[in-house]
Amino acid sequence: AQSVTQPDIHITVSEGASLELRCNYSYGATPYLFWYVQSPGQGLQLLLKYFSGDTLVQGIKGFEAEFKRSQSSFNLRKPSVHWSDAAEYFCAVGGPGQKVTFGTGTKLQVIP
């Protein structure tokens, strides 16, 4: 069965610092991978996705993620965090015609 692990429940970074959110997945074939962001009381917004091709994926708001098949990882990065990035981030995995499974989320706190 497919699954996603986000090992960090809560991360605190200073504004302007770099960010990396970890995501490990389990999937039987080449996965489709996603990162979503959720602000309090809101739905989810897609930051970026990987279906195939270049393993370094650029997304919105200055985020990027790298698919590493050997490590079954799809970590999300941002070189300089802004206070408005404070939110909850979900990694998700799916496949062609398959349902999408979400990780448990990482809550990001940004301090001045």
Partner 1 sequence: GAVVSQHPSWVICKSGTSVKIECRSLDFQATTMFWYRQFPKQSLMLMATSNEGSKATYEQGVEKDKFLINHASLTLSTLTVTSAHPEDSSFYICSAKEAGVDNEQFFGPGTRLTVL
Residues lying near partner 1 in the complex (CB under 8 A) = 32, 36, 41-46, 49, 51, 90, 94-105
Residue with tokens 């799809």: 74
d(CA 92, CA 31): 10
- 92 strand-pairing partners: 34, 102
d(CA 13, CA 34): 22
Taking the complex as a whole, the smallest distance from the CB of residue 110 to partner 1 amounts, in Å, to 18
Taking the complex as a whole, the smallest distance from the CB of residue 18 to partner 1 amounts, in Å, to 25
By beta-carbon proximity to partner 1, the closer residue of 55 and 104 is 104
Report how far apart, in Å, the C-alpha atoms of 29 and of each of 48, 60, 79, 98, 105 are: 20, 27, 31, 11, 23
Taking the complex as a whole, the smallest distance from the CB of residue 33 to partner 1 amounts, in Å, to 10
Taking the complex as a whole, the smallest distance from the CB of residue 43 to partner 1 amounts, in Å, to 4
By beta-carbon proximity to partner 1, the closer residue of 74 and 90 is 90
By beta-carbon proximity to partner 1, the closer residue of 97 and 112 is 97
By beta-carbon proximity to partner 1, the closer residue of 85 and 94 is 94
Report how far apart, in Å, the C-alpha atoms of 77 and of each of 7, 31, 46 are: 15, 19, 15
